[in-house]
Structure 1
Amino acid sequence: MSVARAERLVNLVLCLLSTRSHLTAERIRGIVPGYADAPSDEAFFRMFERDKTELRELGIPLEVGRNSAFDTIDGYRIARRDYELGDIDLEPDEAAAVALAVRLWDSPELTGAAHGALLKLRAAGVEVDEAAPAVVEPKVRTTEPAFGPLLAAVQAAQVVRFDYRRPSPTELRTRTIEPWGVVSWRGRWYVVGHDQDRAAPRCFRMSRIAGEVRPVGRPGAFRRPERVNLLEFVAKGSREDTAPPTTTVQLWLARNRAAGLRRRATPVEPRTLDGVSGDVVELKLFDPDSAAGWIAGFGPDVVVLEPEVLRKAVRERHLAVVGREEE
């Protein structure tokens, strides 16, 4: 947000807080600095509409009404009883819980929100000591690339589309969902929402999402159902999908390298690949998607021959590492 716009919003809030009557848009235009710079009436009304939306998104209660029955145009004001924050009195253990929550998240998306809440508490006179020693040092790491875009889509109520790898049979399918929320279950992250393709609620493991999460349509396109327990939904879905898949993958291993894979694999035949001696092996995987990161960790010593979905997943991880090194 530009400095000029921030100053205009602050002046607008002060103006609407200071009046007991409802001020029309034209009256506000003449009082609040910044609006007079609008080159035309149309430009002013667009600016004013954006500012009203901004205030509402910040949680500022903008009241719309008329001062008398003879008025023909709506006016605006901010009622102090709705705007002012009531007294906040946290017990020592509650203040400690807040400080612990601030330490909890290790992702940029949630770190900002946590520190913003902390700032508001301090502005209200509540001291929260972040430096106080804690018996538990919590960390929730969100390394999945899809986490940030999905969390943003949940907050904006925006439909998203992504390519999703099924564990068995191994295949890549495009899914379009209305995301209701993100959940961590047994060390894995899931997104829960309404699957438009299957016209039913579904949960998707984030580690199986391939490529980018693409927004579809405008924000505010749907509403999350009330009284839905996302964690229970994910737990139930996980229990129903406990049968281990019987996926056999074929790998090429450089000669005398990748011992961790060789111990679990069955030799097939020796083969030279791009002038490098090695062996073709077969490996049974319970979850090829989760194994993609493990296989990618062996670098050029391992090449996925089959299936193609796993080959692409490993390649994506290699490209991601190269991209981080170039930054």
Structure 2
Amino acid sequence: MSQKDRTERLLNLLFALMASSRPVPKSFLRDAVEAYKDSPSDEAFERMFERDKEELRSMGVPILTVEGSDGSGGIEGYRVAVADYALPEIELSTDELAVVGLAARVWEQASLGPAAQSALRKLEAAGGTIVQGPVGIETRVSTTEPSFPVLLEASRLRRSVTFDYRRPEDSTAATRTVQPWGVTSRRGHWYLVGHDVDRGAPRVFRLSRVVGDVTQTGLPGAYEVPDGVDVAALVASATPAPGSLVAQIRVRADRAHGLRRRATAVEPGESTDLLLVPFSDDEVLARELVGLAADVVVEAPPSLRDAVVRRLRLSAGEVPA
């Protein structure tokens, strides 16, 4: 079952429980929720319902189990105390509404864009005047990484994940099992921070190096994020500072003038020059070098050379190893 189907099932269960002021019998829920109705057996329905009920509770939904009034100890049904679950009324000042509007624009072209725009419409319907932020600011957050929504949800639910990950210095990907603590961006890239189960230590993973699908494992709330964890600080300490690396790039004469302007040293040759170019990210520089085609050849470091080769193979239609 896909992530979308599971989310739809949980929402349908929540709506069914909140729609009645009286306890809802389990038999009614099986008929009301489409996914439960399609269960192949009573046992399969019981397992799915118990799992969904505990997952909603782990998200903070106060599902109450109501015992029967006949004194037999049986369960009459389940309900959600709406008063305990509903948020208090939110009042935002003009400045706060402006910040909300600007934040929604940040996510406008990202995977969370529809949710952000829906939230704005609800605020406007409640009488709020959304200011779209200072003119000229066009901040955007790109979440084109396929693993982003799964890892973001796993960090929220505190569910472990497994995925294949290829470091720049490795030729093949290795399977990693991680307890996500959070997902954050830095200098245009998204990173996952969490506890690497196999290595028994915190690790930072760049989402662009995740290979294939990410699988959530285990139950929600299976672990706790250590107190005092600063996800942004961990990413900052694990990523190189701007210009902290130096690439050795062989360039044809009178070519790649942008690289030449950034080079800290140039060794002239007969037909090519050797440039020493500071950089901080293999993938970013590799994208630029691929665009220069046969005018450049990377001599060092190996991780940059591998990133260029990988991009060239992808552009040729080859499946990466």
Shorter-chain TM-score category?
Answer: 0.5 to 0.7
Contact 1:16 1:76 in 2 (8 A): no
**Pairing of 1:190-269 with structure 2 (within 5 A):** 190-196=191-197, 198-204=199-205, 206=206, 210=209, 212=211, 215=214, 218=217, 220=220, 222-237=223-238, 244-245=244-245, 247=246, 249-251=248-250, 253-254=251-252, 256-261=254-259, 264=263, 265-268=266-269
| 2:294 equivalent to 1:312 | no
Q: CA deviation at 1:139?
A: 1.0
Among candidates 165, 170, 188, match of residue 168 of structure 2? 165
Structure 1 CA distance, aligned partners of 2:188 and 2:39?
53
8 Å Cα contact 2:181/2:225 also seen in 1 = yes
Distance in 1 (CA, whole Å) between partners of 2:133 and 2:119 is 20
Instruction: Tell me the CA shift for residue 310 of structure 1.
Output: 2.0
Look up the SS of the partner of 1:183 in the other structure: strand
In the alignment, structure 1 residue 299 sits paired with structure 2 residue 280: no
Return closer, same or farther for 1:303/1:211 CA change in 2, 3 Å cut-off.
Answer: farther
TM-score when normalising by structure 1: 0.67
Deviation of 1:71 after TM superposition, in Å, equals 2.5
Measured in 2, the distance between the counterparts of 1:39 and 1:128 equals 50
Q: Partners of 2:134 and 2:277 in 1: how far apart? A: 44
- Take 1:150 and 1:321, find their aligned partners in 2: how far apart are those partners? 27
Flag the 1:217–1:127 CA change in 2: closer, same or farther, 3 A: closer
**Secondary structure of the structure 2 residue equivalent to 1:228:** coil
Q: Percent identity?
A: 35
RMSD of aligned alpha carbons: 4.4
Q: 1:231 to 1:50 in 2, by over 3 A?
A: closer
Shift of 1:54: 7.8
Give the total of aligned pairs. Answer: 299
1:103 Cα shift? 0.9
AA at the equivalent of 2:94: P
Once residues 58 and 119 of structure 1 are traced to their aligned partners in structure 2, the CA distance between those partners, rounded to angstroms, is: 25
What CA deviation, in whole Å up to 9, does each residue of 1:74-103 have, x standing for no partner?
621122322444333222222222112111
Q: Distance in 2 between matches of 1:15 and 1:214?
A: 33
Alignment partners' CA distance in 2, 1:154 and 1:92:
32
What letter is aligned with 1:257? R
1:112–1:56 Cα change, 3 Å: farther
1:292 deviates by 1.8
Contact 1:17 1:80 in 2 (8 A): no
Partner in structure 1 of residue 97 of structure 2: 95
Maintained 8 Å contact 1:98/1:128: no
8 Å contact from structure 2 (residues 108, 114) kept in 1: no
Relative distance call for 1:295 and 1:201 in structure 2 (3 A) is: same
- Whole-Å separation in 1 of the counterparts to 2:37 and 2:199: 53
**Kindly tell me: are residues 237 and 16 of structure 1, through their superposed partners in 2, closer, same or farther at Cα, counting changes over 3 Å?**
closer
In structure 1, distance between residues paired with 2:33 and 2:235: 52
Distance 1:291 1:213, change over 3 A: same
> Does the 8 A contact of 1:153 with 1:215 survive in 2?
no
TM-score (norm 2): 0.68
Whichever residue aligns with residue 67 of structure 1, its letter is G
How far did residue 67 of structure 1 move?
3.0
SS at 1:291 equivalent: helix
Kindly provide the CA deviation profile for residues 141-191 of structure 1, in whole angstroms up to 9, marking residues without a partner as x: 33774772643553453334412236xxx9988583433223344665543
- The residue type paired with residue 276 of structure 2 is L
Contact 1:25/1:75, CA 8 A, preserved across alignment: yes
SS of residue matched to 1:165: coil
Q: 1:113 to 1:282 in 2, by over 3 A?
A: same
Is this contact kept in 2: 1:178–1:193, CA < 8 A? yes
Instruction: Determine whether 1:283 maps to 2:276.
Output: yes
SS at structure 2 position matched to 1:304 = strand
Greater Rg over alpha carbons, structure: 1
Cα distance in 2, alignment partners of residues 318 and 309 from structure 1: 14
**In the alignment, which residue of structure 2 is the partner of 1:79?**
81
Structure 1 residues not aligned, in runs of 5+:
271-278
* Pairwise CA distance, 1:49: 4.9
User: Which structure 2 residues correspond to residues 94-113 of structure 1 after superposition, within 5 A?
Assistant: 94-113=96-115
Q: Secondary structure at the match of 1:281?
A: strand
Say whether the 8 Å CA contact 1:118–1:128 is kept in structure 2: no
Q: Give 5+ residue unaligned stretches, structure 2.
A: none
